Structure 1
């Protein structure tokens, strides 16, 4: 399982508020489980996804994750839902394409890797990722 982004773009950034970064920092996002593409979206708000995943990982009792994006009216562009003893990943845009169930450790590592990757991009741009992602 991997959340991958590339081509990070800060060109739409018009301010210095946290919400400006969450909405405006975009990249092409691909979520892959083994060789199956679960979700593929250009110009996706990756800082917002990293911010939301950070809060989800901090929860004492982890519930299903549904990205409630400032950039879209659809809740669940990225969804991580409990299924049996594991987690499945999908998008409400194409909910019929789902990952296989993965363990708590695997989904947590996947989320942390994605957050770290976005944090590195923010740092390279000269922004403190703790201020934006938390």
Structure 2
């Protein structure tokens, strides 16, 4: 299981009349987007353009740092869409990733360690994409 992002952008910031340094946290989380693809082994499970990847990275890192991590499922309750854009749930076989965008499609189960490694790699790639936009990624916790 892995998340892959490409084509980072901040298409709504200019429309809002804001620069990245002026934008409040909630605007940065919503407006920094990219094409997000979820892979399972070598299979592309689903892809979504203009996905709020900064928001996903932000909430995933908060989830990983919560006291009950590893015992509680994750659901992205995005400020821009219905809850469930990303689900990470524990099953008897391991952890699986799914989305309300494709509710019948789930990754194969992975161990907790592989899941955490995939999440951390995703957050590192979001940090790198944000830096390429010329924005300081400090608002998203380090992986």
TM-score by length of 2: 0.86
Q: Alpha-carbon deviation of 1:124?
A: 2.6
Residue of structure 2 in register with 1:31 after alignment = 38
RCO (CA 8 Å, sep 6+): is it higher in 1 or 2? 2
Q: Is the 8 A contact 1:39 1:90 kept in 2?
A: no
Q: Larger Cα Rg: Structure 1 or Structure 2?
A: 2
Q: Alpha-carbon deviation of 1:111?
A: 0.5
Q: Given the alignment of the two structures, is residue 20 of structure 1 paired with residue 27 of structure 2, yes or no?
A: yes
Residue of structure 1 in register with 2:80 after alignment = 71
Q: Distance in 2 between matches of 1:45 and 1:84?
A: 30
TM-score by length of 1: 0.91
Q: Alpha-carbon deviation of 1:56?
A: 0.9
Aligned residues: CA RMSD: 1.3
Q: Distance in 1 between matches of 2:119 and 2:97?
A: 11
State the SS of the aligned residue for 1:127: coil
Structure 2 residue ranges without an equivalent (≥5): none
Q: Distance in 2 between matches of 1:35 and 1:127?
A: 32
